[in-house]
């Protein structure tokens, strides 16, 4: 019996993790966010109502689940309160159901201003960040100057440190980015009322999780972004600023690797990417229109149109290795319904040397072209399928081919946006 399950993205984010976390955590005691911040956007459709969560763990829609925002997450108190209010409006109450690590770094207004000012200055070389202040907040953590959630408990100290940090940021904002200065008193004024709301949620979340493990409770670790947005393993510098691969669970929660029982890699049946950076299998024209319109491929955080492409099995094989994946969950299979032909990229070729390369280094991405294998499409609808027997032969063949190429079993298939649009090949807690 598996107790602790990691759910993470194997592509560039937006693989549909939120729905799978929500589905699997109906049976879990804890759902844990371990990295990223409110740059994530996890869309859930419950009884035809769409709910988008950016910071609060997706499993919270189940009444008996406790949400943990662990130390690896960068937390915007303003966003947190906004999300709590949105949930309350939808009759979901989180009182005594969400705990935040005292060691989580804060995202405050100066991080956001800095993120936006930098992107503006980079012009055509911009990364296409979400503009949520994620990079600057992680920089503060690594530079050992971050204000953390636990600091909210000491108001006097908070004010002194805030003044110093804002002074540091203003120097760059004003002199380098020609931005107007920030007034730390305004940040403090806005921050103080949030402390009352957050105060009782602040905990040593590592301790909570260790106790849960001892008590044999089921825990779901909910990844944000995807493996190729990882700061170390992604398509650097077009990445986010956290470890979205499996190592992020360990450093981001204080739960050790021996306690992770099963690692599920969420993979969209095709590929998407928001923001700039390498995307070998990107398509344009009618195929892009098909994926975009049928898959509603617009960012749930920024509303930006996502770039779309075929499934990239070269990077997927890499994701299997760097995350020690136990199995895959294929999402949005239904978006492929109606295509005559479906392609999978099975190798990368260098256009100068014509050599097949295993995984490009930073300077090689621009020189590679994908080599595709073609698969027959299907006309029968897979939308809403609940059993493997409901799928046409060609869809079986597509799924089996992914298993063969990646040497990894597919345990779950998602066939539509609703909670119930799912084929559970294996029960992840049981297998
Ligand atoms: P940041 O995380 O806002 O710094 O953005 C860095 C890169 O990661 C940009 O290309 C973003 O579009 C991308 N990104 C960040 N969060 C997500 C996500 O949740 N889904 C998809 N892309 C993301």
Q: Encode pLDDT of 209-244 as tens digits.
A: 999 999 999 999 999 999 999 999 999 999 999 999
334 contacts 382 by C-beta, under 8 angstroms: yes
**Predicted confidence (pLDDT) at residue 21 exceeds the cutoff of 70:** yes
Please determine, for residue 427, whether its predicted confidence score (pLDDT) is greater than 90: no
Q: What pLDDT was estimated at residue 275? A: 87
* Band of pLDDT at residue 331, cut at 50, 70 and 90: very high
Report whether 200 contacts 102 (CB < 8 A): no
Residue 73 CA to ligand 1 centre (angstroms): 14
When pLDDT is cut at 50, 70 and 90, the band that residue 92 belongs to is: confident
Region of poorest pLDDT, from 88-92, 226-230, 323-327: 88-92
351-372 pLDDT, tens digit per residue, is 999 999 888 988 889 999 999 9
H or E stretch covering 164? helix 155-175
- 284-305 tens-digit pLDDT: 999 999 999 999 999 877 888 9
**Which ranges in the chain are annotated with CATH 3.90.170.10?**
267-424
CA 229 – ligand 1 centroid, Å: 7
Q: Does residue 257 or residue 430 have the better pLDDT?
A: 257
Residue 43 has pLDDT above 90, yes or no: no
Counting beta carbons within 10 angstroms of the beta carbon of residue 353, is it exposed (0 to 12), middle (13 to 18) or buried (19 or more)? exposed
Q: What's the confidence (pLDDT) of residue 246?
A: 98
Residue 105 has pLDDT above 70, yes or no: yes
Instruction: Assess whether pLDDT exceeds 80 at residue 46.
Output: no
Q: In 275-367, at which residue ranges do the beta strands (DSSP E only) sit?
A: 307-309, 311-312, 327-331, 341-350, 356-357
Residue 36 Cα: closest atom of ligand 1: 2
Q: Which residues are catalytic?
A: 14, 42, 141
What was the pLDDT predicted at 225? 96
What pLDDT shows up at residue 327?
97
The best mutation among 240, 268, 295 to test binding of ligand 1, ranked by most ligand atoms within 8 Å of the C-beta, falls on 240
CA–CA separation, 266 vs 245, rounded Å? 12
Per residue in 158-179, pLDDT tens? 999 999 999 999 999 999 999 9
Average pLDDT, the chain: 94
Residues with beta carbon inside 6 Å of ligand 1? 12-14, 39-41, 127-130, 132, 134-135, 224-225, 229, 238, 240-241, 274-275
How far, in Å, is the centroid of ligand 1 from the Cα of 311? 19
Residue 181 has pLDDT above 90, yes or no: yes
**How far apart are alpha carbons 94 and 197 in whole angstroms?**
11
Which value, in Å, is the radius of gyration of the alpha carbons in the chain? 22
What gap in Å lies between CA 376 and CA 396, rounded to an integer?
11
Report CA(244)–ligand 1 centroid distance (Å). 11
Residue 56 has pLDDT above 70, yes or no: yes
263 phi, psi to nearest 5 deg = -120, 110
418 is in an annotated binding site: no
Nearest Cα neighbor of 36 from 308, 241, 337 is: 241
Q: End-to-end alpha-carbon separation of the chain, Å?
A: 7
Q: What is the pLDDT of residue 188?
A: 95
pTM as predicted:
0.96
Distance CA 236, CA 396 (A): 35
Q: Phi and psi at residue 389, in whole multiples of 5°?
A: -60, -20
Residues 2, 262 contacting (CB under 8 angstroms): yes
Nearest-atom number in ligand 1 for the CA of 135 is 4
- How far is the C-alpha of 106 from the C-alpha of 209, rounded, in Å? 21
Which residue's CA is the closest to the ligand 1 atom numbered 2? 240
Q: Which residue has the higher pLDDT, 3 or 45?
A: 3
CATH topology for the 267-424 domain: Adenylosuccinate Synthetase; Chain A, domain 3 (3.90.170)
CA distance 173 to 157: 24
* Whether domain 4-101+202-263 has CATH 3.40.440.10: yes
**Residue 309 predicted with pLDDT over 90:** yes
Question: With 0-12 CB in 10 A as exposed, 13-18 as middle and 19+ as buried, what is 142?
Answer: exposed
**327 labeled binding residue:** no
Q: pLDDT value at position 70?
A: 98
Alpha-helical (H) ranges within 176-312 are: 184-198, 205-214, 247-253, 285-295
Domain with CATH 1.10.300.10 in the chain: 109-197
To test the ligand 1 pocket, which listed residue (42, 129, 237) has its Cβ within 8 A of the most ligand atoms? 129
What pLDDT score was predicted for residue 301?
76
| Ligand-binding site membership of 173 (annotated) | no
For residues 183 and 162, give the distance between their C-alpha atoms in angstroms, rounded to a whole number: 10
**CATH 3.40.440.10: which residues of the chain?**
4-101+202-263
The confidence band for 328, taking pLDDT boundaries of 50, 70 and 90, is: very high
Peptide bond just before 49 cis, omega within 30 deg: no
Is 39 flagged in the annotation as binding?
A: yes
| Distance, C-alpha 247 to centroid of its chain | 14
Architecture of domain 109-197: Orthogonal Bundle (1.10)
pLDDT higher than 70, residue 426? yes
The conformation of residue 150, written as its DSSP 8-state character, comes to G
Mean pLDDT along residues 339-350: 97
Identify the residue whose C-alpha is closest to ligand 1 atom 16. 39
On the question of pLDDT at 44 being above 80, the answer is: no
In this structure, the residue with its CA closest to atom 11 of ligand 1 is 129
Instruction: Give the position of tokens 């960012």.
Output: 299
Q: Which of 12, 135, 229, 302 to mutate to test the pocket of ligand 1 (most atoms within 8 A of CB)?
A: 229
Q: What pLDDT is attached to residue 165?
A: 97
Nearest CA to ligand 1 atom 21: 13
- Residue 71 pLDDT > 90: yes
Query: Has residue 431 got a pLDDT over 70?
Result: no
């Amino acid at each position: 019996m598996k107790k602790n399950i990691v759910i993470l993205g194997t592509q560039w984010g937006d693989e549909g993790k939120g729905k799978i976390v929500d589905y699997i955590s109906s049976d879990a005691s804890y759902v844990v966010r371990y990295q990223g911040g409110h740059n994530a956007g996890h869309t859930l459709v419950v009884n035809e109502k769409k709910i988008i969560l950016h910071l609060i763990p997706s499993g919270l829609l189940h009444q008996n689940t406790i949400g943990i925002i662990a130390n690896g997450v960068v937390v915007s108190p303003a966003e947190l309160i906004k999300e709590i209010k949105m949930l309350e409006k939808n009759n979901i109450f989180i009182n005594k159901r969400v705990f935040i690590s005292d060691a989580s770094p804060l995202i405050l207004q100066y991080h956001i201003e800095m993120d936006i000012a930098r992107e503006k200055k980079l012009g055509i070389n911009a990364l296409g960040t979400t503009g949520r202040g994620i990079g600057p907040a992680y920089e503060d953590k690594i530079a050992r100057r971050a204000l953390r959630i636990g600091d909210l408990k000491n108001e006097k100290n908070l004010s002194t440190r805030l003044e110093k940090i804002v002074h540091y940021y203003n120097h760059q904002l004003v002199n380098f980015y020609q931005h107007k200065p920030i007034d730390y008193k305004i940040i403090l004024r806005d921050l103080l009322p949030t402390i009352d709301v957050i105060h009782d949620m602040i905990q040593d979340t590592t301790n909570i999780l260790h106790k849960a493990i001892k008590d044999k409770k089921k825990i779901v670790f909910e990844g944000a972004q995807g493996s190729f947005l990882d700061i170390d393993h992604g398509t650097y510098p077009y990445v986010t600023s956290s470890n979205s691969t499996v190592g992020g669970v360990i450093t981001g929660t204080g739960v050790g690797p021996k306690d992770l029982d099963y690692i599920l890699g969420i993979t969209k049946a095709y590929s998407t990417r928001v923001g700039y950076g390498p995307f070998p299998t990107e398509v344009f024209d009618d195929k892009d229109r098909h994926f975009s319109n049928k898959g509603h491929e617009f960012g749930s955080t920024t509303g930006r149109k996502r770039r779309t492409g075929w499934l990239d099995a070269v990077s997927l094989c890499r994701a299997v290795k760097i995350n020690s994946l136990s199995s895959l969950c294929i999402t949005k299979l239904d978006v492929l319904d109606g295509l005559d032909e479906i392609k999978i990229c099975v190798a990368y070729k260098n256009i100068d040397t014509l050599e097949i390369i295993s995984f490009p280094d930073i300077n090689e991405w621009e020189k590679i072209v994908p080599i595709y294998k073609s698969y027959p499409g299907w006309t029968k609808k897979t939308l809403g399928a609940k059993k493997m027997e409901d799928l046409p032969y060609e869809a079986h063949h597509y799924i089996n081919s992914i298993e063969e190429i990646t040497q990894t079993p597919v345990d779950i298939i998602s066939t539509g946006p609703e909670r119930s649009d799912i084929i559970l090949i294996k029960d992840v807690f049981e297998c």
